[in-house]
Structure 1
Amino acid sequence: MTTPDHESPEPQPPVPAVKDRIYRSPAGMAGGVLLLALMGWLGIDALVVGEGRVPWLALASLLLAVPLVVAFTLRPAVFANPERLRVRNPFRVVVLPWGRVVSLRSGFSNEAVTADGDTYQLWAIPVSLRARKRASRKDARLRAEAAAGREGRGTRGSRGAFGGPSRGAVVPEVPEGPLRAETDKVMDELRHLHADHEKTAGPPPAGPDEVTVRWAWEILGPALAGAVLLVILIAVG
């Protein structure tokens, strides 16, 4: 008597030892959702009640505009773990092993610089000069209030009945270092990951340890199709 053969389970992909840290722009995502809702409302209205070429123009405009809005608002993200940095920008996905990263610099934009001299912008971590100024002003105010509080506790008028500090004299807590904007904190975390990799890096891995770049055709394809259709409709008149 033969026993039925049991199908062997399909191999599962290996589970990474450390999950990625994911960084996105909350303001960009919120703006993208609002823009998509507005375009959906206007576009569907034009498709339903439009006459003549209006529905076709609306369709072509949606094919062009929706992928671009998604690309610049919802799509950008940075995935980081102890081994590599994966940057998902509007039109490209760049995988940067930490061994190929020379520095992470912040100016008017946050960028990763490779050993080959290539620079890749981190779209998901935008630089906000306003946030930097706001953090700097808050840091200066906290330190001034703390200094004034310490001086006030040393004066005679701020002491209680038995010579101790007055209950109302509260000295605000001051952070150890200067206050930083949120995106600057994210860059600090990425720099720590990079520094930790440099400290613990062993021999180079057996596989390729190169930077890889992939174009986002899932975004470019629909956008190009919408642009071509829109040009044809305008040319036909």
Structure 2
Amino acid sequence: MTTPEHESSAPQPPASEVRDRVYRSSGGIAGGVLLLAIIGWLGFDALFTGHGRTPWMALAAMILIVPLVVAFSLRPAVYANDERLRIRNPFRVIVLPWGQVAALRSRYSNEVVSQSGTTYQLWAVPVSMRARKRAIRQEARAAGAGQRGSDRVGRLGTRGVFGSPGVDGPGGTGRSGPVRAASDQTMSDLQELHEAREHDERAQGEVTVRWAYEIVGPAVAGAVVLAILLAVG
């Protein structure tokens, strides 16, 4: 029997917590919720008011379509912490310790390249050319406003005008960097984290890939049932 005198009274260090930064597409989530609402409305209407094989066809179609909508809209996410990058794509979950990441790059899609040369797409961080063009226009306008503010300060001399465009001070913009599209800013954040952590001892290990059977299984079952119903006629 352990007595209180034998127990260590020294304070125990708190367990280390590795907090994830989570990146998701708000547009994808909104679109997925809207699609699921439409599918639910049409599907349940067919289930409860349809006749003959219609309810069974509707049920099979819902079993097939709902997991796919969830997979491509609500499911994608990127989790990053000091030790690893975890990518939750529609049908797979990829975990890459930072030591296994060779590069993060943006082309027509945002991607991560492992040390073995395998490329994994970041579905949760889609590239938006419209957002990039909008950010470029905003940056150009900000640069023009800053130039006009500098010219005005130069004309007024050493008095200055607080709150003028491009001038820090009470009411000023205080802009500290270039304007970027949200996905480009996310990739920049991930790149900085990679560069800071890739040589850390805790950020080493092997790349793991797991298939999302919770998505694939129902979708395949729905497809099989729907194919049988169509074949039976």
Using structure 1 for the length normalisation, give the TM-score: 0.84
2: CA distance, partners of 1:127 / 1:204: 27
Which secondary structure does the structure 2 equivalent of 1:46 belong to?
A: helix
Q: Is the 8 A contact 2:149 2:164 kept in 1?
A: yes
Task: State the Cα distance separating 1:171 from its structure 2 match.
Answer: 2.5
Q: By how many angstroms is 1:114 displaced?
A: 0.6
Who is 1:8 aligned against? none
Letter in 1 for 2:225: L
**SS state at 2:223 partner:** helix
- Relative distance call for 1:203 and 1:165 in structure 2 (3 A) is closer
Relative to 1, partners in 2 of residues 1:87 and 1:15: Cα closer, same or farther, differing over 3 Å? farther
2:187 corresponds in structure 1 to 187
Runs of 4+ in 1 over 6 A off after TM superposition: none
Matched, 1:170 2:192: no
Task: Give the Å deviation of 1:193.
Answer: 1.2
- Determine the C-alpha separation between the residues in 1 that align with 2:208 and 2:228: 36
Offset of 1:216 from its aligned partner?
0.5
Query: Measured at CA, do residues 15 and 106 of structure 1 come closer, stay the same or move farther in structure 2, by a change above 3 Å?
Result: farther
Corresponding residue of 2:209: 213
Percent of matched pairs sharing the same residue = 57
2:10 counterpart residue number:
none
- CA offset at residue 150 of structure 1? 2.0
The SS at the match of 1:111 is strand
Aligned CA RMSD, in angstroms, stands at 2.2
Mark the runs of 5 or more structure 1 residues left unpaired by the alignment: 1-13
- Which residue identity is paired with 1:119? T
SS of residue in 1 equivalent to 2:165: coil
Shift of 1:164: 4.8
Q: 1:182 to 1:204 in 2, by over 3 A?
A: closer
1:226 alignment partner in structure 2: 222
- Where structure 2 has 5 or more consecutive residues not aligned to the other structure, the ranges are 1-13, 167-172
Q: Distance in 1 between matches of 2:78 and 2:19?
A: 13
* Contact residue 83 and residue 203 of structure 2 kept, 8 A: no
CA distance in 2, matches of 1:130, 1:171: 26
- CA deviations over 1:7-35 (Å, ceiling 9, x no partner): xxxxxxx9652211111111100110111
Residue correspondences, number = 214
Match of 1:19 in 2: 19
